[in-house]
Amino acid sequence: MESRRLGKTGLLVSRLGAGLAAIGEEESLEHIEKVASVLNAALDGGLTFYDTAECYFDSEEMVGRTISRRRDEFVLATKCGHGDSGLDSDAWSYDAILASIDRSLKRLRTDWLDLVQLHSCGLDVLERGDCIRALQDAKQKGKTRFIGYSGDNEAAMWAVESDQFDTLQTSFSLADQRPRHGLLVEAKKRDMGVIAKRPIANGAWGTKTSPSGDLKHQKWYADEYFKRCQAIVAEAPIPGDPGDGVLFALGFVFAHDEVDTAIVGTRNPDHMRANIERLERLPLPSEAVEELRRRWDKLDDGWTQQM
């Protein structure tokens, strides 16, 4: 598995990372053996970047119960801001953020986090500054090595231009291309580590119906991506499309050198192994990437980033 330096953090991370929302949302602690098989398959396959959040149901607890004994083999990132801290009605307050980090450390069964990210808070919250100060203090106390922002659109650009974060996690895919017009360039100019979330557009490329129907929660989640994919392909088939939607989507994202790692979630160990094997079939033909870009630019009528 190819590794990349995650910007100025200096952390080495696998190009393909594990997004742990799907496991937390679609599985339960009653099926911890299945979760263990997925996460250990990822580690055995060379994935070294694992991204979770305090609001992904039991995701943090699952990581702690299954792979915390292999803690020195991977870079561990979580997010804060959406959970019930029990301390404050404002989840973005200074005290709530610190409480969230402490709870994450216990759930993940680790003494330190490699990266803590603010989880899609709005521009008003960022400008207020309490949550950023909390992250900075947690970093100073050794609870996390680095801090980042996970989000999109105007708030993401503000976070990049503020020079207060080590990393940016943002939506980027063949159905969410707006970041290539400025955001990714600005992040790399500042040597921020760049993490692409939702890089396979929730599996919406090449499907006949929206993948949202297969979800246990948020049964609308992939609908917008499905609509965009349908519009992009309506003109004509894309030259160089391998007929594998996940491979095509990953190939598009990895064609952009600004991206250090792209996180993909699955609760199936065979799917995890298949995703790892797909990287051996990259890169995509350059004409395919260029055509996807051309069609996006032609069709984009206000397609903002999806959270």
pLDDT digits (tens, 9 = 90+) for 151-186: 999 999 999 999 999 999 999 999 999 999 999 999
pLDDT of residue 212: 83
Residue with the bigger pLDDT between 122 and 221: it is 122
Residue 89's pLDDT is what?
59
More confident residue, 83 or 225: 225
Q: What is the pLDDT of residue 83?
A: 66
State residue 84's pLDDT score.
61
Beta strands in 113-203 (DSSP E): 113-119, 144-150, 167-171, 193-197
Alpha helix (H) residue ranges in 87-129: 94-108, 123-128
pLDDT value at 5 more than 90: yes
Catalytic residue among 56, 149, 221, 225: 56
DSSP 67: T
pLDDT bracket for residue 213 (50, 70, 90): confident
| Tokens, residue 1 | 């598995």
pLDDT digits (tens, 9 = 90+) for 253-304: 999 999 999 999 999 999 999 999 999 999 999 999 999 999 999 999 999 9
Domain boundaries of the chain, sorted by first residue:
3-299
What are 221-247's pLDDT values in tens digits? 889 999 999 999 999 999 999 999 999
What local confidence, expressed as pLDDT, does residue 211 receive?
Answer: 87
What integer pLDDT is reported at residue 16 of this predicted model?
A: 98
Q: Which residue has the higher pLDDT, 214 or 149?
A: 149
Residue 217 clears pLDDT 70, i.e. is over it: no
Mean pLDDT over each residue of the chain, to the nearest integer: 94
Provide the 8-state DSSP code for 259: -
* Domain 3-299: CATH superfamily, name plus number: NADP-dependent oxidoreductase domain (3.20.20.100)
Which tokens hold the place of 68? 């915390």
Backbone dihedral region of 92: left (phi > 0), alpha (psi from -120 to 50 degrees) or beta?
Answer: alpha
User: pTM for this one?
Assistant: 0.96
pLDDT band, very low/low/confident/very high, at 137 (cuts 50, 70, 90): very high
Q: Which of 57, 55, 127 is nearest to 96 (CA)?
A: 55
What percentage of residues in the chain have a pLDDT greater than 70? 96
H/E stretch holding 231: helix 223-234
Q: Output the CA–CA distances (angstroms, integers) from residue 64 to 61, 108, 124, 138, 194, in the order listed.
A: 5, 4, 33, 20, 25
pLDDT at res. 104: 97
Return the DSSP state at 15. Answer: S
Q: What is the mean pLDDT of residues 92-110?
A: 96
Q: Is the pLDDT of residue 37 over 80?
A: yes
**Residue 84 C-beta-side C-alpha neighbours within 13 Å:** 2
pLDDT band at 82 (very low <50, low <70, confident <90, very high): confident
From 246, 261, 249, 255, select the one nearest 285 (Cα to Cα): 255
Q: Tell me the residue ranges of DSSP E strands in the chain.
A: 3-5, 12-14, 16-19, 49-51, 75-80, 113-119, 144-150, 167-171, 193-197, 261-264
- Beta strands in 110-246, from DSSP E residues, in sequence order: 113-119, 144-150, 167-171, 193-197
Residue 56 annotated as catalytic: yes
